[in-house]
Amino acid sequence: MSPALLTSSVFFDPNDLNDADAILHYDDDPIHSTHVCMNCHRIESPDNKLIPCTQCKAVFYCDVVCFNENWSSGRRGGTHHKNVCKAIQRSHKKRPAMQAIAKQFPWTRQTHDGSCTFDRYRDSRGLFGCGPNFGWWTESPCSCEDQMDYMPGAQLLEDEHFDERQGWKLPDDEIPWLDFESTNALLPSTPPNFDHTWASYYKWRGLPMRSPAALLLHWPLSVFRLLSQLHCLPSDSPLERRSLIVHLLGVEKELDVLPIFGELALLIPNTDIDLVMFGPGVFRVLIDADEDEDCLASQPYAYTYTAPDACGGSTIRISLSDSGPIWGDHAIHTASNRPDAMIALNANLGGYDQWQLALLASRAYNIPFAVTERQEVNIELSLTALRDLPQARATLWAWVELGQKEEKRMNRTAKKTFARGMNPFMCPGPRPQTLGGGPTTPNGFEFIVATGGPDEDMDPVEMKTSGPSLDDYM
């Protein structure tokens, strides 16, 4: 997740609200409004009907005064609505394709406003709640008073992981098994031969579409998708054993589902995968694990898994970086210390200055780097951060000596446009919104910062699109 607790929108911090219960866990009852004034963050009520922006119709305000203030002087770190209104309008055209992705599953229920919510469905199956009783489904409680009792990755303070039945809490035939020795699950074919759709992946994995596993599998599948977009994965099983070092940045919620990332060993055959996690969630877990040398977080690898030989025999090792809550250190300036790829899920690149070090390193050293975002408008704000990167280089990296090609690549960032699109392995959505900003869902949109290819410097300065369209699901 992002390097701060910004969960619903690039504009919205739950801590700004006195009563967030009504909007953080919106249910599919039409009497519950999800509208919040973009300017003063007042929640809509029967006595306080909010009015939408007349252009994008996605952002709401108490009155003209609030609209005028937010239009020209946005309250959240200089985010003016006039700067994103047209981007939000364009993003809303993606809603039908996002709905089509969700409708691949028979348990998808569309609400009165065209969004998808799964809280009632998960609750009916005992998968909605906080704590170890909910396995890998655990999440932050909706009550702000209980927030302090939840910490992503709390299971890593124990001595062992949940087994797959404890973690998934699903019937055996709905679990994407990794333990093939003690179950009757069928081995998936290798190399993976599925199209990048949930339905095709489920077929490859032997899962019935009634399984809600996609509501968690979007974490490793989004990593797989981004690595594919970065051309870091071979089209066939490599004849020789290869290694792949991936830095996963801005980690938070991912820590709750660490063993699910074992799926990558099935997806990437004949490879030794080292997934190194960085971020504020990692930093907090390691602090709490400091006095317990036996807990999972204190081990050199918090999780390891080896796929069966018939599935390519890959091994994945997940380690938690102790370098601090923000990625970036002097080691990156030595070529041998650089990862093969950098990934960030629900990054909000344009929302936090902490991302500048990762952006600098990726662009200067041509390290493949791709992210997902909850909302497409976040990508628009990411472009602003990239345009300012040469100036950031002059301050944050004033002491760094770059070669001619590296300086040229960095300066080109101010003019370049980047590949972006919908992520076909998004968490099914669009989800109910709180403050607008266009359709939103975890891992909903993908954005390529650098491909790492030899032609990176020669990429034409034009917009590129990637990901699915509505036609792919018709």
Residue (of 437, 443, 439) closest to 424 by Cα position: 443
Give the residue-averaged pLDDT of 284-308. Answer: 96
- Answer positive or negative: Cα dihedral of 165, 171, 175, 178: positive
Average pLDDT over residues 304-315: 96
Q: Which residue has the higher pLDDT, 174 or 332?
A: 174
Do the beta carbons of residue 70 and residue 62 sit within 8 Å? no
Q: Which of 219-223, 315-319, 348-352 is predicted with the least confidence, judged by mean pLDDT?
A: 348-352
Q: What is the token pair recorded at 466?
A: 């990637």
Q: Please name the residue that has the structure tokens 């999800």.
A: 34
| Per-residue model confidence (pLDDT) at position 15 | 37
To the nearest whole number, what is the mean pLDDT of the chain? 84
Tens-place pLDDT, residues 400-427: 999 998 988 888 887 787 889 999 999 9
Residue count of the chain: 474
Q: Which whole-number Å values give the CA distances from 47 to 17, 44, 62, in the listed order? A: 18, 8, 11
Q: How far is residue 203 from each of residues 195, 196, 219, 358, 427, measured CA to CA in Å?
A: 10, 12, 19, 37, 18
> Phi and psi dihedrals of 259, rounded to 5?
-65, -20
Q: Tens digits of per-residue pLDDT, 61-97?
A: 898 888 888 887 655 445 678 878 888 888 888 889 9
According to DSSP, the β-strands at 51-52 and 60-61 are antiparallel
pLDDT of residue 13: 34
132: left (phi over 0), alpha (psi -120 to 50) or beta: alpha
Lowest mean pLDDT: which of 2-16, 125-139, 176-190, 293-307?
A: 2-16
pLDDT(14) > 60: no
pLDDT at position 54, please?
A: 85
Each residue of 246-278: b (16+ CB within 10 Å) or e?
A: bbbbbbbbbbbbbbbbbbbbbbbbbbbbbbbbb
- Domain range annotation of the chain: 93-473
Percent of the chain with pLDDT over 90: 52
> How far is the C-alpha of 255 from the C-alpha of 261, rounded, in Å?
10
Say which amino acid occupies 378: N
Mean pLDDT of 156-170: 97
Average pLDDT over residues 286-310: 96
Residue 23 is predicted with a pLDDT of 35
* Residue 69: per-residue pLDDT: 87
* HEC string for 358-413: HHHHHHHHCCCEEEEEEEHHHHHHHHHHHHCHHHHHHHHCCCCCCCHHHHHHHHHC
Residue pair 60/37 in contact by the 8 Å Cβ criterion:
yes
The average pLDDT across 354-368 equals 92
